[in-house]
Structure 1
Amino acid sequence: MHEPGPPGTTSVGESVELAPRSPDPDGTYEWTVRDAPADSAVGEGPIGSGGGSGKGDESGVGDGSEEGGGSEEGTGRGEGDRPEDEPEGTPPVLVSGATSRSDAPVLRLRPDAPGTYVLTLDAPDGTHRQRVRAFPDERRETELRVAAADLPVDDDAVDRVSLMWAHNERLLARDRPERDGDDWVLETRVPPGRHRFSFVANDDPGNEHGDVVEVPGPGRPRLSLDGRVEDRSDAESVVVLTADVEAPPAAGGGEGG
């Protein structure tokens, strides 16, 4: 079975993975964006061709057609670093996932505009549709700063520093803080809330210094689910789910909700 699963949600600036549920190593797969918000770079050309295709070339971002508006390879920055007014060279909407296959069955959708993205997956058992709803960009400018003296390595022995956190999938060498006086600093954009991060000296996980940054503004709602099994005399037992939603916590003294 290759059906990619239920509709997904994300927000501009946050990527979501797209993949067949059980890919066949001998099969061939192709993702195509069939519909996208009018403000999306994908929407600038014929949907389903050009930059809207996920039939990966070496960069995994389509066939390089100019119509797609997003055919260049993505930059080496993290998910949270893209400015709102970024000019030409904007990272593509479809990016190949962590596979070595030329047909890129696993992709990451990086919405560049709020709205609904409709994609199709051509798989050995037919064509499947997937919808992803992207909410407006909620990221805010923030600065990550760590004193050089706080790193677990002598200052004169530090050649380079990596940022490692959930927003770059904890991958070393993707985001590089720069030296600013006695500190290592990186400017980025992330949603409101508390975010744990680490600066890693010389790309060695053993040289990690952890810290927390708090971005002002309302956080995301807290959702909890409770389930119970109800026995009914006139029918089979059923599972009942109850959702409890709390107002988002406020960070930095802002108001929640």
Structure 2
Amino acid sequence: MRTLVTGGTRGIGAAVALRLARDGHDLVLGYASDDRAAEETRLAVEDTGVSCHVVRADLTEPESVDRLFAEAGALTGVVNNAGATLHLGPLAQTPPEVIAATVDLNLTAALLVARAAVRALGTSYGGGGGVLVNISSGAATLGSPGEYVQYAAAKAGVDAMTLGLAQEVAGDGVRVVGVAPGIVRTTIHADAGEPGRVDRVGPLVPLGRAGEPHEVADAVAWLMSDEASYVTGTTLRVAGGR
């Protein structure tokens, strides 16, 4: 098994990489800019006994997506994980360029990665079949009012992509599934300007706490396994009941 994880060197992506490594996946990890995190994650993955290659790529550029997949080589799975909220605040107070950048990263780039994944995995393109997991967000159905409506809207688009693409490529040997995390303890909130958001929102979840990255990674690993061989076109919510 050889799997590509975009945004695979920090947060949920890094947890997914380590979980898949324990299942025996050789890994290719795409990342945007944090070279130190990329090296640390690569070493941690290789410590499990599998191979790991890291590739720095800007997924908002189609040619970078093509380069990432070219470097990845033959694949059996793709985890379409890269994303960020970029901003916190009401939509009316969000600069247009931030809205555009949010949609570009969280939806347009995800579509480009999904397109490349089908071309890498699909039997009609010479692939051997496989699994594409799209990382969505609980925000897609909650709307995230007052915080990041534009991010929620982009992730709702990812959910629609999962449903439609799964039907489109079901005969091509590719399962397409999604995972929608809720509030999870990563740096995504600090990166957007509110480092205390996990502690603020976590207690409001029915289970009474924020999730941990490994809990999302376990869901991804199951969806990529043969145990989920009859699962496609659906998004699994990992959000503590919210």
TM-score range for the pair, normalised by the shorter chain length: under 0.3
Q: Which has the higher strand share?
A: 1
Give TM-score scaled by structure 1 length. Answer: 0.24
The alignment's TM-score, normalised by the length of structure 2, stands at 0.25
* Relative contact order, higher structure (CA 8 A, sep 6+): 2
